[in-house]
Amino acid sequence: MFGLIVRRATLSLRVRSLLLAATLTGSLAGLAQGGELDKFNPATTDPDLFRIAVRHSDRLQVPAKGAKMLIVMTDRKSGRVLTEKQILLTKTTAASDKVSALKDNRTEKVAVYRIPERQIGELRALQAKFLAMPKSRQDEIAGSLSIDVSGCKVDPDDGGRMLISTFLKSSELNDYVMLANDYDLRNIPPGATAKGLDPVRPCR
């Protein structure tokens, strides 16, 4: 959230989780034509309206502290990390955040996560600090904003696909924009876990 605009959203994997990394490049200038996600501007977005919706089957659960956001600022030339901040997103049950329309069938659940209120001020201060920098300094900074959602299986013996979808809503977006659709948490690279070990662990 440092004045850098999302150029592309890419998917990579952590064991038992879906990591959505928005690679942030460029400056405050507009983007080339793209999808709805291009409207998202971490520099000016309102942290209080930032929402991540997670859709999954009732065979899967997102555990406590299972939805996280990581913000990293680095110096483009040296690669030195200037700022790194991890935020544990909290589930919201506010009526205004209900998104039942995102369900594809009755066996799916949709949960909405937001930035904790106690950290809204911190993020606004980071935004203000970045925007107060000379543009020449802004151009020297690269940033990334990652959303990491982990899941566990309700039935310890369940060997089926573990699908999860994620959506983003912000002050720039009128509705939720899909980040990942029906991503299987078992779809991991060879050797990422010990042989025979299920990457999706049972819920405790």
pLDDT digits (tens, 9 = 90+) for 38-88: 788 888 889 999 999 999 888 888 887 888 888 888 898 999 999 888 999
| Confidence (pLDDT) at 67 | 87
pTM (two decimals): 0.78
Q: Does residue 108 contact residue 55 with C-beta atoms inside 8 Å?
A: yes
Rounded alpha-carbon distances, angstroms, from residue 56 to 66, 149, 165, 171, 194 = 13, 11, 6, 25, 26
| Confidence (pLDDT) at 25 | 33
How does DSSP assign 13-64, residue by residue? EETTEEEEEEEEES-SSPPPS--GGGG--TTT--GGG-EEEEEEETTEE--T
pLDDT digits (tens, 9 = 90+) for 147-195: 888 888 889 888 888 888 888 899 998 888 888 888 888 776 555 555 5
Q: Does residue 89 contact residue 69 with C-beta atoms inside 8 Å?
A: yes
